[in-house]
Amino acid sequence: MENNSFDVNVELNIETFQSGELTRTKISEPGKFTQMGKSIYLRFNESLENGDKASILVKVTEDGEIHVKRVAKSTNLSSLLYFTHQEHNSGHLETEYGVMPLGTFTKDSKVEFKSNPLSGKINIDYDLIYDNNVIGNYKFRLIFSA
């Protein structure tokens, strides 16, 4: 099994439209790019306001499905969301009070990778769904480079 791991710089921009309000989040952090078999993984941290960090793992499978896992131990929150181009997926948010099922509908997704020099983009436009209601519209823009 192929296992190549490289240090990369990650820039993640997220636009959230929820309850009529637009919020923008920008994360710029060092990260790690790993290829295992035909799947690729990006790991990096998000600096939180309280000085702690949330760890983020983005996996792109061989068939183009994207998994985004975010764990913030200091706030007892972790989420796992799945994205498949123009499909509904089930995911969840874990809190100290229990697990909340969340769904996603991926309106658009695009993944690009270049190996020399190592760089890439992962774009996801999606709706976040709870209890059959859209609770937010998101634009996820991740760019990385070695």
The tens digit of pLDDT for each residue in 135-144 reads 999 999 999 9
- Give residue 3's pLDDT band: very low, low, confident or very high (50, 70, 90): low
Give the range among 25-29, 47-51, 122-126 with minimum mean pLDDT.
47-51
Nearest to 107 by CA among 80, 67, 65, 137: 137
Nearest to 33 by CA among 59, 2, 54, 71: 59
What average pLDDT does the segment 102-130 reach? 96
Contacts of 21 (CB under 8 A, 6+ apart): none
Q: Would you call 31 helix, strand, or coil by DSSP?
A: strand
Enclosing domain of residue 108: 3-145
What average pLDDT does the segment 120-140 reach? 97
Return d(Cα 130, Cα 144) in angstroms, integer.
Answer: 30
Instruction: Tell me what pLDDT residue 1 has.
Output: 41
Q: What is the CATH number of the domain that holds 16?
A: 2.40.128.20
Give whole-number Cα distances, 8 to 12, 109, 115, in Å: 13, 22, 12
What average pLDDT does the segment 49-71 reach? 94
Return d(Cα 136, Cα 126) in angstroms, integer.
Answer: 8
Partnered with residue 140 across adjacent β-strands are 14, 124
What average pLDDT does the segment 45-53 reach? 87
The count of residues in the chain is 146
Indicate if the pLDDT at residue 17 is higher than 90.
yes
The more confident residue out of 108 and 73 is 108
- Asked if residue 30 has a cis previous peptide bond (ω within 30° of 0), the answer is no
| 43, 55 contact by CB (below 8 A) | yes
Instruction: Tell me what pLDDT residue 114 has.
Output: 92
Number of separate domains in the chain: 1
Give whole-number Cα distances, 25 to 29, 47, 101, in Å: 13, 11, 23
